[in-house]
A = this chain, B = another copy of it.
Amino acid sequence: MTNKKDALIHSALDTLKIELPSWGFANTGTRFGKFLQPAAAVTLEDKFSDAGQVNALTGACPELALHVLWDLPGGVSDVQQVKTFAKKYGIQPGSINPNVFQDQQYKFGSVGNPDPSIRKCAVDHIVECVAIAQELNCRDISLWFADGSNYPGTQSIRHRIASFEEVLKTIHAALNPRQRLLIEYKPFEPAFYHTDVADWGMALLLARSAGPQAYVLVDTGHHYQAQNIEQIVAWLLHHRMIGGFHFNDRKYADDDLTLGSIDPYQVFRIFHEIHNFAWETNDFATVAYMVDQSHNLKPKMEAMIQTVCTAQELFAKAAIVDHDRLASLQRTCSLVEAEECFRDAFWYDVRPILREWRRNHGLPEEPMLAFRESGYLERMTSERRSRNLETVSTYA
């Protein structure tokens, strides 16, 4: 029995790859300010270095998501530099993230802006990102739109839907056959009355309208209070429309906390839907697992290592659900037995098996401990301190 569980966990861990976000290593904050970490990454090379370190310790993070505006400010001309760092630090570029929310021109929106010249800027930037992705051999373009409005009556919600449809078709046309568009949804922030792509239904309709290589991207922190995320995942799997995840956790809004830190049982249930779909259909949906967190207080590197380990633990727990037995108990509506069958996997302490798996793969049994003992943080602190402390932001 235990041996079977062990085997399931080992093979699940072998498949789990978690993409790290370049911006997760840089200093970020809330609107009230940033608490600066002296060891935070400043340059693109810093980010590759940090991500490479996390991958070396965990063996699960071969790719780094890039944010074009921050990481390739020179656009396509920065591609060579990315390739150099990728080779140097042993970590490949992953999903490519355009940014159409930060520039002053996007004050009233990007793709949904009523001004066609601004929409064109947004399209041009995203199409350039597609080109960058092609140069870097990256599969996924992740699209998050801050577009929306803050006050009733100030924008035509319907007109903006039409603009989104039109623009996304154009972008889709720029893809090569193995690329994908991932369309993210989010109920609010920074738009506070209406957000153009507010929920999974809107993202799915836009993806379908854009073309066959467009999918929905589920950020675990982008939901209404009490919304059932695993149910959304089930619907997306059923319709073959799930493209991937942005991992994080939240209690209130899009708090960008570390995965599973507030509600680990929910993450387990999400992973269960994916394992269960694969078990039942033998169709392993192509799901990109990406971290999208903002560690305002936790040390950046520690938070990232912790996130990867937590994801592995919860993924492993979900891997040992007894699907056969569960399906049978679900069919007969044996509620308490089904629930206990399901929870049995959640309560199982998988940590010893994770340590074994790491040992088998030549990895440190305790990645966090290994990191603390490595001296990396101290080195980075002394190298990067002066660069980090020069900029302070204020709220007003």
Contact = CB atoms under 8 A, between A and B. Distances in A.
A234 interface: yes
Interface in A96-140: 101-102, 104, 107-108, 114-115
Contacts of A161: 234-235, 238
Interface string A265-280: 1000100110011001
B35 A107 contact: yes
A154 interface: yes
B251 A253 contact: no
Nearest to A160: B234
- How many monomers of this chain does the complex have? 4
A170 interface: no
A158 interface: yes
A368 B336 contact: yes
Interface string A311-331: 001000000010000110111
A156 to B, nearest CB: 5
A126 to B, nearest CB: 17
A31 B27 CA distance: 12
Interface string A10-45: 000000000000010011111111011000000000
B198 A201 contact: no
A87 interface: no
Contact of A239 (B32, B36, B205): B205
A192 interface: yes
A278 B321 CA distance: 37
Nearest to A209: B239
Nearest to A303: B336
A189 B298 contact: no
B30 A265 contact: no
Given A32-B146, A187-B227, A395-B102, A333 B114 contact: yes
A152 interface: yes
A203 to B, nearest CB: 9
A67 interface: yes
Nearest to A152: B269
A190 interface: yes
A192 B150 contact: no
